Amino acid sequence: MLLFASLDTPVVYLIRVQKSRGKSRAQDLQRAWSGSLAHSTCSLTPAATALALVKRHRLQLLLYRLPNIFFPPDRAVPILARHMSSQSFKIAALAGDGIGPEVMAEAIKVLRAVEKKFDVGFTIDEAPVGWAGIDAAGKALPDDTFELCKGSDAILFGSVGLPDRDPTIPKEERPERAALLHIRKEFSLFANLRPVKLPAALAHACPLKPERQGDGIDMLVVRELTGGMYFGQPKTTEVVAQKENVNPQDKKKTRRILRIERAIDTMVYTEPEIERIAHVAFKAAALRRKKVCSIDKANVLENGVLWRKVVERVAKEYPDVEVDHMFVDNGAMQLMLNPTQFDVMLCENMFGDILSDEAAALAGSLGMLPSASLGSTEGEVTFGFYEPAGGTAPDIAGKNLANPIAQILSSAMMLRYSFGLNDAALAIEAAVGTAIESGLRTGDIFSESDPKAKRTGTSEMGDAIAGAV
């Protein structure tokens, strides 16, 4: 239980901290309250601040607006300030499989450097997921891991899935569906942002000829993440017929029983689902080069027709943002021919899955690409899930070879979108730039022909970025 005295009105707030979160949670909240008080002089009143804290940390507001007989207003600040010095955020760090644990360690190193430089604190709780979850607790998303996610401000995710492991585990229980898709759906993480940027120093790593790279590739794929074919029902494989196959030449009329299976995935979108992701794309474009290219297959799919109609409608609310539409097959080709034409590319779930990997290849290495999966924003708080795009890369796991930059940049996205710490996010991004400029290269972005390039390992790259923060 925490007791807070208000400065604006003679009120005391009693906030109940959920038991499972223990003492450290209470301390976090005290720090958060202090950080918020600093803001309160300019915008938020302490009353609003208390309510915001309750909401952000999903706490129970037990009783409020009691007469403040406990602390006269002039004593309230010193009493609170003694315990508190910064904003605090709770992060669930789920490293997962393959290279996940190695790159996660580097991201945590960088977050610790951020804590030293900025007035902010992170409580980082690590928990198993994916095959690590199956090994530790028999489930790709163990119950404790899921609970930890629910009690956190954001999820920093590594990667899951090792295709060669145990084929007897059914597809529904394998990490991709049981952990990744489950988390996306449970937390309604409908907006997936995948920024693709080719730094000038890495132009050699892009598979396209220099003349196709123009002034540099810098685009954002906005992928709808909780609808479409990934989740539409029915989704099943069933036996539809058992046919007798009689060979006319066979005098004995031998009969062969054929068992025919059919697989069904359903592509389904409702107008509100399209609308909300379209708003995300237009808002993002308004802060960039103000162009949205919406991808669909309106020449064939009902979904495509509806998608285009709704995107057109939403576009009217953003007169400063230019919109055009492209069929997905053409979009795939244009990415190869003229990628610099794209600013924000808006896609439904499966098209976005495919095109974001294609776009990622343009940035030289999947090891450079972060992503954010966001739910809806409540007040100023957006719950988010942050993961590198690259996957588990089992062939290089455990060898200090993986590129940690995608994981580190994912943590920068977390600071920006879920915690509102834009300066800290910029500091991480600048530090990554500094490390690249200094010539440090993990194997995936190393080139013999670059005289500045110095081959480096996962942890050395993390050290350099943390140092530059």
Q: Which one, 180 or 381, has the nearer CB to Mg ion?
A: 180
Active-site entry in 297, 386, 417, 444: 297
By CB under 5 A, is residue 444 in contact with Mg ion?
A: no
- Active site includes 269? no
- Nearest-approach distance from CB 120 to ligand IPM, in angstroms: 28
- Active site includes 329? yes
Q: Which one, 180 or 321, has the nearer CB to ligand IPM?
A: 180
Indicate the SS3 state at residue 46. helix
273-277 — which CB contacts under 8 Å span 24+ positions? 273/190, 273/224, 273/226, 273/227, 274/224, 274/306, 274/307, 274/310, 274/311, 275/310, 275/313, 275/314, 276/190, 276/191, 276/376, 277/190, 277/191, 277/222, 277/224, 277/346
- Nearest-approach distance from CB 161 to ligand IPM, in angstroms: 6
Report which residue's Cβ sits closest to ligand IPM: 176
* Triad 219, 224, 228: Cα angle to 5°: 140
CA-based Rg of the chain, rounded to a whole angstrom?
25
Q: Which of 100, 121, 128, 161 is the binder for ligand IPM (CB under 6 A)?
A: 161
Q: How many Cβ atoms sit within 10 Å of the Cβ of residue 199?
A: 18
CA distance 205 to 442: 12
Q: Which one, 176 or 265, has the nearer CB to ligand IPM?
A: 176
- Active site includes 230? yes
Instruction: Give the count of residues interacting with ligand IPM (CB under 6 A).
Output: 4
- Nearest-approach distance from CB 357 to ligand IPM, in angstroms: 7
- Active site includes 143? no
Give the distance from CA 154 to its chain's centroid: 9
- Nearest-approach distance from CB 392 to ligand IPM, in angstroms: 9
By CB under 5 A, is residue 348 in contact with Mg ion?
A: no
Q: Which one, 353 or 444, has the nearer CB to ligand IPM?
A: 353
Helix 302-315 with 271-286: angle, nearest 10 deg:
50
- Active site includes 296? no
The 105-144 site mask, x for binding ligand IPM (CB under 6 A), equals ----------------------------------------
CA distance 365 to 447: 12
Instruction: Give the count of residues interacting with Mg ion (CB under 5 A).
Output: 1
The 296-335 site mask, x for binding Mg ion (CB under 5 A), equals ----------------------------------------
Q: What is the DSSP string of 241-261?
A: EEEEEE-TT-TT--EEEEEEE
CA distance 146 to 172: 17
Q: Which residues pair with 60 in a beta bridge?
A: 16
Tokens of 238: 């069933």
Q: Which one, 181 or 203, has the nearer CB to Mg ion?
A: 181
Q: Which one, 80 or 374, has the nearer CB to ligand IPM?
A: 374
- Nearest-approach distance from CB 353 to ligand IPM, in angstroms: 4
The item of ligand IPM, Mg ion, none sharing an interface with residue 161, based on CB under 5 to 8 Å by kind, is ligand IPM
CA distance 3 to 80: 10
Sign of CA dihedral 113, 114, 120, 126: negative
Give the distance from CA 306 to its chain's centroid: 27
By CB under 6 A, is residue 353 in contact with ligand IPM?
A: yes
By CB under 6 A, is residue 176 in contact with ligand IPM?
A: yes
CB 347 within 8 A of CB 223: yes
Beta strand 372-378 with 191-197 is antiparallel
Q: Which among 20, 2, 12, 17 has a CA at the least distance from the CA of 57?
A: 17
Active-site entry in 13, 230, 386, 417: 230
- Nearest-approach distance from CB 358 to Mg ion, in angstroms: 10
The item of ligand IPM, Mg ion, none sharing an interface with residue 370, based on CB under 5 to 8 Å by kind, is none
Active-site entry in 8, 329, 423, 452: 329
Q: Mention every residue, 6+ apart, whose C-beta is less than 8 A from residue 222.
A: 191, 192, 193, 194, 277, 280, 281, 284, 344, 345, 346, 347, 352
By CB under 6 A, is residue 358 in contact with ligand IPM?
A: no
Active-site entry in 119, 125, 265, 357: 357
By CB under 6 A, is residue 460 in contact with ligand IPM?
A: no
By CB under 5 A, is residue 353 in contact with Mg ion?
A: yes
Q: Mention every residue, 6+ apart, whose C-beta is less than 8 A from residue 397.
A: 97, 98, 99, 102
The item of ligand IPM, Mg ion, none sharing an interface with residue 176, based on CB under 5 to 8 Å by kind, is ligand IPM
Query: Candidates 100-108, 320-328, 345-353, 369-377 — which segment interacts with Mg ion by CB under 5 A?
Result: 345-353
By CB under 6 A, is residue 180 in contact with ligand IPM?
A: yes
- Nearest-approach distance from CB 327 to Mg ion, in angstroms: 20
Task: Evaluate the omega torsion of the peptide bond into residue 234 and state whether it is cis, within 30 degrees of 0.
Answer: yes
**Residues designated catalytic:** 230, 297, 329, 353, 357
Applying CB under 6 A, the residues found at the interface with ligand IPM are 161, 176, 180, 353
Applying CB under 5 A, the residues found at the interface with Mg ion are 353
